[in-house]
Amino acid sequence: MRYFSTRNNNEKVNFAEAALTGLAPDGGLFVPEEIPQYKASVISSLGTMDFCDIAFETIKPYVQDDIPDTALADITRSAYVFSAPLVAVSDRCAVELFHGPTAAFKDFGARFMARSFSYLRRSEDKPLKILVATSGDTGGAVADGFFDIPGISVTVLYPKGRVTPLQERQIAGLGKNISALAVEGSFDDCQRLVKAALSDNNLKKRMSLSSANSINISRLIPQASYYSAAAGRAFAGLTDPDGEATPRVNNKTAVQEKRRIKGIPAVLCVPSGNFGNLTAGLYAMKMGAPIGQFVAATNINKTVPDYLSSGEYLTRTSQATISNAMDVGAPSNFERMAAHFSWEQMRQIILGVSVTDDETRETIVSIFNETGYFLDPHSAVGWKGISKLYADKKLDTAAPAGILCTAHPAKFHEVVEPLIGPPPVPASLAGAMKRTVNAQTIPADVSALIDTL
């Protein structure tokens, strides 16, 4: 498999170069020259396969020239000691992506990335510096994934005062090879600084640099695995039991499963900010996973829903909301989406919808009262997005619907607890809350970042 920049499809590189470089030299994002297809035997088995096996089959064609099957099998087994259960909640399902060590979907990409980097650099002596911008969960997942990995250090940039106390402890509480910079600005500023540093030729002569945002192809590809797993389970008419981290209280009425029909491709709703997650879902669909429709649910930062409606792509300054990880006005992964799909093609497979903070709060309350299930603000945006499209008759109610629940509600107890009481806290988060924050504050200025590095 070869990769090219979204801004120049003439020069192609292998997976190792695309992953370790992060950002293409011309400032574009690496994309695969083709989306590979699952074997028919894999597609027919997605509903019953072990998650590690799905991850292996999903990632293999993208990396097989650089990571042999035996090494890839070891990497996936080490990375995925957790899965992504499809849990029934009311008339739809929750795709629970928070059973990993930082209780967010970013664990799936970050843990594979750390292990693949370690393998790809197994013969290197020069240290590698990873730069990552985060609006919340990415930083914690990357910090955890790379913590204590020899020969690699990580610097995480996050918008000062715009992440939760728990997220800040996950980002800036580990120490050792992980450092944190609190940027006086927005996530868009953090992302801009990282891109500028990665493009600075003088800086690149002095140190080996790479990225760990979803701009890095090695983080994006493994995320396609949980889409295929969820779609396969839904297509087979199956769901999973509650897991250890499932945020449902026991004394509520049992969930009434209203739709559990075999053989219908799923509707998957993706709470969306930087649009890397949805891009991974599009890869899974193109590989053959039984997905019939995507819903891109945003908060009031609705650059992409507006584009899907009008055909005009207009970035804007991000606005702060209670679903802070989605506060992105210039989503970088849209560049990848546009490289693979035209506006008309996107409109056929993606429905865009925007949800306000008040609607998000109302959804958290109503779903808890109905089912005893705790939604975090981002997952609530996804839930409400589906409901709004049902009400507007823009979405087929016969298809099984899954909400990608991207973070555990305990990570956002400041929002959730005043509405419905304290959510249950997984052991991984309870441990993180005991950490001490150690971060340096810098202005949203490229020279300040370069000086610090």
Residues with a known catalytic role: 106
What are the angstrom distances between the C-alpha of 173 and each of 166, 177, 358? Answer: 10, 11, 32
- Six token digits for residue 34: 């083709």
Helix H or strand E encompassing 12: strand 8-13
Q: Which residue has the tokens 């449902």?
A: 248
Q: How far apart are CA 389 and CA 332, in angstroms?
A: 26
- If you count DSSP H runs as helices and E runs as strands, how many of each does the chain have, helices first? 19, 14
Closest of 100, 448, 46 to residue 285, by C-alpha: 46
Output the six-digit token pair for 446: 């490229």
Would you state the structure tokens that stand for residue 41, as one six-digit string? Answer: 């035997």
From CA 386, how far away is CA 376, in angstroms rounded? 16
- For the chain, the 3-state helix, strand and coil shares in percent, each to the nearest 5, are 45, 20, 40
Residue with tokens 């193109």: 286
